[in-house]
């Protein structure tokens, strides 16, 4: 291969490093109305009265909108394929406020100074209600978060607003209780992961304007252009045909922008006023009223024999959805579906409840539930290894999923391509496991230790996610590639161009790529669920095949021969009758009255082949203070065929760093009144380059027959292994078992003192 599996430079690299105007606020009209949101100071309250008259006396003020001004049609802002599993439980503005930060009023003015002054003058009278903040007490609580009659859900996910249930369910294979009773050893523990923020550099932001045809144009930093069109139309109660959504460059998303957080407000203001408007979330708003990872409590019962054979896994997940239900029914599924199958037990059970509370609504974040589930199950496997005195690498070698197996706990899908055994072997070699495990004392009060974890993810959502591509030969002999998938910094514009270049035997530089634009791009579910390389990539391959068929047909006609007598090397078509250059064909195409040389194809996969990973953490613990330093992290990934070696590596390094942050630093903390005290980057700690040592990444390729050029996904799996591996390394160094993240020095030190 000439283009695939190569370190091709990103398409937009030079524009980004030279500071070209590519982001939303760079291209927004200068005369945009400025929008800010007056937000609730209470976790649960009813608006009794709003007096906006003092605010409207401020010079340069345009409007203040309240719950009385917006449509009373509920919607979900989850970016999911219709019909969305998430409940329709939101209004643009609501009289009943369900968390601190819920919007009370949309404040609109000619400039920021006027809006800031007006916000201070709005007088709101609240009836403050008792909030429900403890998610372990939410199910069937007398405090009902969503008592409204027009709450609804489109899919059967076990939702019941009167019980505060966003979703509930149980799945199983075999007789778990019987097998657990037969086991020699049972680990039965509860693991708790807190909510954490994506903390992308670019905050949520959107602008909107009316075009010459009276249509609402939304330009937003989003991963889900086509879903935004639908959910905004639902919220505004207007036809979808009246809305166009485009996406500029995105300054990071990591799943946060799979939720339509900011789009409704400029859309509503511009629809009402006819004027362009924009909203830019502050860092405080992005940290406190956005779409973080779900807090979860996960009970794992894991049964095995004395020789280390794992026979049964029972997982129960309680997920804190927060005030609104987006992504709740789907995120929770991954806690079991992406953790249990790693070990192929003879019996399994996976049950779950997702509950409403009066806290910030959770959403999508890289890993999407698999991260929490694998922390729990991988930690339980490590605890099992310690209980029976077996090396945790060895116990995984005995039990882990192998290629060719069917995965009962993963929708009965076949495991066609799996290099997990080679990933673990290589990670073990890279870390020097045999000479370092479990720990080595390196000073009077310092101990170095290792910990290990495995991971699997998915490649799109089987039978749901759809990707499309339009490819075209242009005058002059270059190509266009139109996609609906959103490049959010991951480089999908580049890797999809690489696939097209491989198919068309041309250079990546001969391809122009653009998207998403809901008016002209082919439909794509969006950039989430690790779907772009695998799903949209196959759409590109199929479209290129169609385009080549048309090119061969036209070339054969022009050369007065048959298609089977024509050869194409990327530059010229050759036959015994003569030679025709690609450039010449492109001009014949535009002059020809026949079928033009373009093709559009879509792709949906009936399976979602999992990528795999093995991760080993090497930490140094100060046993006097509990301080943990990550010295090295060794990670090996099986993502099928690596499409772009450079981009895959930086994806891996960035995702691992996010997992390290969740394991050691990141912690959203709420007060008893429901306020989020982690409201800035001073209070919310994320790791910097000085907070960790070396991240070493390697790849072990497999070949996935259903993927483009044998590729699977890489985007999400990279975040998952640090949590359990770091927690086990801490245990090996200090004897303290961390079952609640983050593993702060205080928790480690208190654990040592208690021990």
Those residues whose C-beta lies under 8 Å from the C-beta of residue 21, and which sit 6 or more positions away, are: 27
Rounded to an integer, the average pLDDT of 734-739 is 98
State the CB neighbour count (10 A cutoff) for residue 576. 8
Q: Calculate what percentage of the chain has a pLDDT beyond 70.
A: 100
| Rounded Cα–Cα distance for residues 209 and 109 (Å) | 15
- For residue 110, the 8-state DSSP code is S
pLDDT category at 285 given cuts 50, 70, 90 is very high
pLDDT at 102 over 90: yes
| 3-state secondary structure at position 740 | strand
Average pLDDT over residues 484-511: 94
Phi, psi of 669 (to 5 degrees): -120, 130
Q: Residue 592: what pLDDT?
A: 67
What mean pLDDT comes out for the span 258-276? 98
Q: Which residue has the tokens 């502050």?
A: 282
pLDDT digits (tens, 9 = 90+) for 163-186: 999 999 999 999 999 999 999 999
In three-state form (DSSP H/G/I as H, E/B as E, the rest C), the secondary structure along 28-96 is CCCCCEEEEEEECCCCCEEEEEEECHHHHCCCCEEEEECCCCCCCCCECCECCCCCCCCCECECCCCCE
What order do you get walking across the sheet with 567-568 strand by strand? 567-568, 572-575, 578-581
Residue 689 — very low, low, confident or very high, per pLDDT cuts 50/70/90? confident
Query: pTM of the prediction?
Result: 0.96
pLDDT value at residue 617: 98
Q: Is the torsion defined by CA of 256, 260, 264, 267 positive or negative? A: positive
Give 752's pLDDT tier (boundaries 50, 70, 90).
very high
Model pLDDT for residues 639-671, shown as the tens digit of each residue: 999 999 999 999 999 999 999 999 999 999 999
DSSP symbols for 236-289: HT--GGGEEEE----S--TTGGGB-SSTHHHHHHHHHHSS-EEEE--HHHHHHS
Q: Which of 340, 380, 262 is nearest to 728 (CA)?
A: 380
Selection from 628, 445, 460 nearest residue 538 by Cα: 460
pLDDT in tens, 349-403: 999 999 999 999 999 999 999 999 999 999 999 999 999 999 999 999 999 999 9
Q: Is the pLDDT of residue 252 over 70?
A: yes
Q: Check if the beta carbon of residue 536 is closer than 8 Å to that of residue 553.
A: no
pLDDT score for 692? 84
CA–CA separation, 244 vs 210, rounded Å?
10
Residue 640 φ/ψ, nearest 5 degrees: 75, -135
The strand pairing partners of 205, in sequence order, are 280
DSSP string, 666-713: ----B-TTS-BS--STTTS----GGGEEEEEEEE-----TTSGGGB--
The alpha helices in 665-739, defined as continuous H runs, are 721-734
Is-contact 368 180, C-beta < 8 A? no
Across-strand partners of 624? none
Q: Which domains does the chain have, with CATH numbers?
A: 30-129+204-280 (3.90.1170.50), 295-459+608-754 (3.30.365.10), 462-604 (3.30.365.10)
Closest to 663 (Cα-Cα) out of 731, 728, 743: 743
Using 50, 70 and 90 to split pLDDT, how confident is the model at 688?
A: confident
CA–CA dist 76, 323 (Å, integer): 12
pLDDT at 5: 93
Which DSSP helix (H) or strand (E) runs through 179?
Answer: helix 176-182
pLDDT band, residue 490 (cuts 50/70/90) = confident
Give me the mean pLDDT over the 192-215 stretch: 97
Burial (Cβ within 10 Å: 0-12, 13-18, ≥19) of residue 368: buried
pLDDT computed for residue 593 by the predictor: 58
Average pLDDT value over all residues in the chain: 96
Question: What's the pLDDT at 529?
Answer: 86
Please report the pLDDT score of residue 375 as a whole number: 98
Q: What is the pLDDT of residues 585-624, one digit of tens each?
A: 999 988 765 678 999 999 999 999 999 999 999 999 999 9
- In terms of DSSP H, where are the helices of 665-754? 721-734, 745-754
pLDDT score for 594: 66
C-alpha to C-alpha distance for 663 and 740, rounded to whole angstroms:
9
């Amino acid at each position: 291969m000439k283009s695939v599996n190569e370190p091709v430079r990103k398409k937009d690299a030079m524009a980004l490093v030279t500071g070209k105007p590519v982001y939303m606020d760079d291209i927004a009209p200068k005369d945009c109305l400025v929008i800010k949101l007056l937000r609730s100071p209470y976790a649960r309250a009813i608006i009794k009265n709003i007096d906006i008259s003092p605010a409207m006396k401020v010079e340069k003020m345009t409007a203040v909108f309240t719950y009385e001004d917006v449509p009373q049609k509920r919607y979900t802002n989850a970016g999911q394929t219709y019909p969305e599993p998430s409940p329709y439980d939101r209004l643009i503005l609501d009289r009943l406020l369900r968390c601190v930060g819920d919007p009370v009023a949309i404040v609109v003015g000619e400039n920021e100074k006027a809006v800031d002054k007006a916000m201070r003058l709005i007088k709101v009278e609240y009836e403050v209600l008792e909030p429900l903040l403890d998610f372990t007490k939410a199910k069937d609580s007398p405090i009902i978060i969503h008592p409204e009659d027009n709450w609804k859900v489109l899919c059967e996910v076990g939702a019941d607003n009167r019980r505060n249930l966003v979703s509930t369910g149980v799945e199983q294979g075999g007789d778990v209780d019987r097998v657990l009773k037969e086991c020699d050893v049972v680990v039965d523990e509860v693991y708790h992961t807190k909510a954490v923020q994506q903390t992308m550099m670019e905050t949520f932001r959107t602008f909107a304007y009316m075009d010459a045809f009276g249509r609402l144009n939304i330009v937003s930093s989003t991963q889900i252009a086509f879903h935004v069109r639908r959910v905004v139309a639902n919220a505004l109660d207007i036809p979808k045909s009246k809305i166009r959504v485009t996406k500029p460059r995105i300054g990071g998303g990591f799943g946060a922008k799979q939720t339509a957080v900011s789009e409704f407000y400029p859309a509503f203001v511009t629809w009402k006023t006819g004027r362009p408007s924009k909203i830019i979330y502050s860092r405080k708003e992005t940290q406190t009223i956005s779409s973080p990872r779900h807090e979860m409590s996960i009970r794992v019962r894991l049964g095995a024999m004395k020789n280390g054979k794992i026979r049964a896994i029972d997982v129960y997940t309680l997920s804190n959805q927060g005030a609104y239900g987006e992504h709740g029914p789907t995120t929770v599924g991954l806690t079991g579906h992406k953790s249990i199958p790693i070990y192929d037990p003879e019996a399994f059970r996976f049950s779950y409840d997702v509950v409403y509370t009066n806290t910030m609504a959770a959403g999508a974040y890289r890993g999407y539930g698999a991260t929490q589930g694998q922390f729990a199950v991988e930690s339980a496997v490590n605890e099992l290894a310690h209980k029976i005195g077996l090396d945790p690498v060895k116990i995984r070698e005995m039990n882990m999923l192998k290629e060719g197996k069917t995965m009962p706990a993963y929708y009965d899908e076949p495991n066609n391509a799996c290099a997990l055994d080679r990933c673990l072997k290589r990670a073990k070699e890279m870390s020097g496991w045999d000479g370092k495990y479990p720990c080595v004392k390196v000073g009077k009060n310092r101990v170095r230790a290792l910990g290990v974890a495995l991971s699997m993810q998915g490649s799109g959502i089987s039978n749901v996610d759809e990707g499309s591509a339009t490819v075209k030969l242009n005058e002059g002999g270059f190509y266009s590639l139109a996609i609906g998938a959103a490049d959010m910094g991951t480089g999908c514009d580049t890797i999809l161009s690489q696939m097209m270049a491989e198919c068309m035997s041309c250079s990546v530089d001969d391809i122009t790529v653009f998207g998403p634009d809901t008016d002209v791009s082919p439909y794509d579910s969006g950039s989430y669920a690790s779907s772009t390389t695998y799903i949209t990539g196959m759409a590109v391959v199929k479209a290129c095949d169609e385009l080549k068929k048309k090119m061969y047909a036209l070339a054969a006609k022009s050369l007065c021969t048959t298609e089977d007598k024509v050869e194409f090397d990327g530059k010229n078509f050759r036959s015994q009758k003569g030679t025709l250059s690609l450039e010449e064909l492109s001009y014949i195409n535009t002059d020809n009255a026949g079928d033009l040389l373009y093709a559009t194809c879509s792709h949906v996969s009936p399976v979602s082949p999992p990528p795999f990973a093995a991760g080993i953490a090497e930490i140094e613990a100060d046993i006097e203070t509990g301080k943990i330093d990550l010295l090295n992290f060794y990670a090996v990934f099986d993502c099928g065929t690596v499409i772009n070696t450079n981009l895959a590596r930086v994806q891996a390094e960035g995702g691992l760093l996010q997992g390290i942050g969740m394991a050691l630093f990141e912690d959203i903390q709420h007060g008893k009144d429901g306020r989020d005290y982690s409201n800035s980057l001073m209070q919310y700690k994320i790791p910097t380059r000085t907070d960790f040592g070396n991240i070493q990444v390697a790849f072990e390729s497999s070949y996935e027959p259903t993927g483009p050029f044998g590729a699977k996904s890489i985007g999400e799996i990279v975040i998952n292994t640090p949590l359990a591996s770091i927690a086990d390394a801490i245990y090996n160094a200090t004897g303290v078992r961390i079952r609640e993240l983050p593993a702060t020095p205080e928790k480690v030190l208190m654990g040592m003192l208690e021990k």
